[in-house]
A and B are shown apart, each in its own frame.
Chain A
């Protein structure tokens, strides 16, 4: 496979994953804004921060208000992480690697682009927001479904999956990075109803309110949310789950190519830490430090994969 093709697949699926994650975060932010108008501004600020675009946002707007945040994250062409931009990016990459995709994956991607471009061609009103956010997740899901249902399980599939999981791990970690303070044990002493809303919101931003409640009936406490999002291997957006998948897919590549590379050496210890750590030890040593280190390692691994498999010349 061409190195460029591997890179194209990797980024195509990173971008699709990002569109979905942005939609979830907006959904959670919108929910808080609707139910707790006093907390809205802070909540919008953290949504923008978790999307990693604070600098670009504040260069353009003074205030964190719903119409601006929604527009910036969904439609703004100057924001390279807006849904508009990443869907364009995903489709451009798909066109580039079209010979590596099944017809069904390509058509799902193209359809996703056609649908969302149309949907996002006009400002999205608050009234239409839930439906638009739902469509974004659904379209990305259709591409994933086509990938699972029709693609050979070979290196093409591995690079696509690596892109998805690196992006997903990055996203979950960013949400934790922005919200870590509400998950510290000290916060649970306060236990205000606002905290409860914040906790709900974190779970909502990874589509896991129901899963969490099902596993922890009757109680919601911040440390168990941190544990759920970082360490629970059953939770498909947790850091541990993502890394188990990353190590699996890198392992298939190692086997397929008969080559163990630097990225393999880098990924294994990250997974080991997520497997062996307990949530108490993480909190004791500093939740924020843990997350910061994770984000750094995750980014470095992405760069290493790019280099090891010659994405660019």
Chain B
């Protein structure tokens, strides 16, 4: 894949002709007045602010809320392209669930020597409390947000599997709502697959994973750390859309072997808890004793079949960046098939040969912390100064096992609307996957994150990235 470093533009291709998925959109765009587009763009921002679609930034002034910049030019994926992504994602997600079941039960994959034992044994993301536990319906990752990047016409790579509590789905839904609101005529011209059923499917999918203790219609609740959490908007949005209660740790307690929420009439049991609180904070009795965000004793109720926790505790072992590099083997091992979607080639710095290669080539590589997320603690070699590189080199030498490295991919671009007209910017894609005992469902669309600075490869919203509506064409 390093054969070429030319950047693939998804709208204009390499040759500069409008690519097939964008033809209809281009037709509309060419008749559009640029000043009107810019006005719409300003209107969109006002709409997001009024609606309160914001995220909180940690470490800033108290209650600092920011908007994630929204770009009005959609990112378009053809039906054929999507069908392939869909197959690849489903295969990967099924393999991950099989892996999680295995790793917390018989550990066949370790016995077979396909991945090193130390990688599991010395990993904080592996939860001994989950050994021998089978979650209801055998589903571990009820919700997954697979991060994909593209480098060419047929070249897609999985960057991360996000099997813990992926966020961003509310932006997928609100971005579409905003586009429908601003450009209704566009949607009668271009046939775009709908994403609006996601909350309904989420609710159904969670309900299908209800525990044995559930008596009637499953009661679903969303567990949030509270209004100061960076993703609080999304937590309340999803609870609202599903018609589920939005609870915090202090609303919950163990009552008669169930997790129950304090209502105005007394304590009512919950069947399925869609938690947006990390494993570590879930249960002060079983994990971090200082945690105020969880429920004391929930792990014991869980093990006894009194509640479903989505995603299951301990799924982090599957999206750990060190495990990531083994996913092709994992897919092969559990499905007997070759992985449809490729991994980005990855050097594990824990291995001496890899480390020396990485140290020699820091200027060209992206180096990530094994347990990091959100674009923090990451080195983008080509964009870093000499000083940043030498500081990073020292960190890397001190604890090589904490890092992996990947080549700097020439991420594809999609145009954004700037003051001077359209200009290409790098993007990635996070489709959202729902897993129930019956099926794996992938919403046709996802969250496209876009680096707003020309040339930048960092798309994280906490680092100045924006978002786009993502279209999958009806074909």
A310 with B263: CB separation less than 8 A: yes
A3 contacts partner chain B, Cβ-Cβ < 8 Å: yes
Contact pattern, B 315-338, Cβ under 8 Å of A = 1, otherwise 0: 000000000000000000000000
- Which residues in B have their C-beta under 8 angstroms from that of A155? 264
A87→B63 CA distance, assembly (Å): 13
Asked if B51 is at the interface of the complex by the 8 Å CB criterion, the answer is yes
B52–A106 touching, CB < 8 Å: yes
* Contact of A98 with B263 in the complex, beta carbons under 8 Å: no
Residue pair B50, A95 in contact (C-beta under 8 Å): no
Is A189 at the interface (CB under 8 A from chain B)? no
Q: Contact between A313 and B250 (Cβ–Cβ < 8 Å)? A: yes
Q: Interface extent on A, as a size class?
A: 20 to 34
Q: Is B76 an interface residue (CB 8 A)?
A: no
The B interface is mostly helix, strand or loop, or mixed, namely mixed
Given contacts A313-B250, A313-B251, contact A110 B52 (CB under 8 A): yes
Chain B residues lying within 8 Å of A114, measured Cβ to Cβ, are 49-50
- B residues near A110, Cβ cutoff 8 Å: 50-52
Inter-chain contact B246/A99, CB cutoff 8 Å: yes
B240 near A99 (CB under 8 angstroms)? yes
Q: CA separation between A92 and B266, bound complex, in Å?
A: 25
Is B245's CB within 8 Å of the partner chain A?
yes
- Whether B245 lies near A107 (C-beta < 8 A) is no
Cα A2 to Cα B247 with chains together (Å): 8
A88 to B236, CA, bound (A): 18
Q: What string of 1s and 0s marks CB contacts (under 8 Å) between A90-111 and chain B? A: 0010011011000100110011
Which listed residue (B51, B236, B247, B253) contacts A95, Cβ 8 A? B236
Q: Considering the chains assembled together, what is the distance between the CA atoms of A181 and B248 in angstroms?
A: 48
**One of B50, B232, B253, B265 near A111 (C-beta < 8 A):** B50
In angstroms, Cα B427 to Cα A7, docked, is 43
Query: Contact at A4–B262, with CB atoms within 8 Å?
Result: yes
- B177 CB to closest chain A CB (Å) equals 11
- B52 smallest CB distance to A (angstroms): 5
A sample of 4 more A-B contacts (CB under 8 A), given A95-B227, A313-B251, is A1-B264, A88-B63, A99-B245, A111-B50
Which B residues are CB-close (under 8 A) to A6? 264
Candidates B247, B248, B265; contact of A257 at CB < 8 Å: B265
Query: Is A92 touching B227 in the complex (CB atoms < 8 A)?
Result: yes
Interface string of A203-241 (1 = CB under 8 A from B): 000000000000000000000000000000000000000
Collect the chain B residues with CB atoms within 8 Å of residue A309's CB: 264
B261 within 8 A of A: yes
Pairwise interchain contact B251-A3, C-beta atoms closer than 8 A: yes
Beta-carbon contacts under 8 Å, A276-313 to B: 309-310, 313
Q: How far is the CB of A149 from chain B (nearest CB, A)?
A: 17
Which of A3, A99, A257 has the most C-beta atoms of chain B within 10 angstroms of its own C-beta?
A99
The answer to whether B50 touches A3 (Cβ under 8 A) is no
**With A95-B52, A99-B240 in contact, do A257 and B264 touch (Cβ < 8 Å)?**
yes
Within 8 A of B (CB), among A16-46: none
CB pair B263 A2 closer than 8 Å: yes
B236–A3 touching, CB < 8 Å: no
Kindly list chain A residues whose C-beta atoms are within 8 Å of the C-beta of B244: 99
Cα distance A155–B265 when bound, in Å?
11
* Contact across chains for A99 and B227 when beta carbons are under 8 A apart: no
Chain B residues closer than 8 Å to A259, beta-carbon distance: 265
A-B contact pairs, 23 of them (CB 8 A): A2-B247, A2-B251, A2-B261, A2-B262, A2-B263, A2-B264, A3-B263, A4-B248, A95-B52, A95-B232, A98-B236, A98-B246, A99-B240, A99-B244, A99-B245, A103-B51, A107-B51, A110-B50, A111-B50, A309-B264, A313-B250, A313-B253, A313-B262
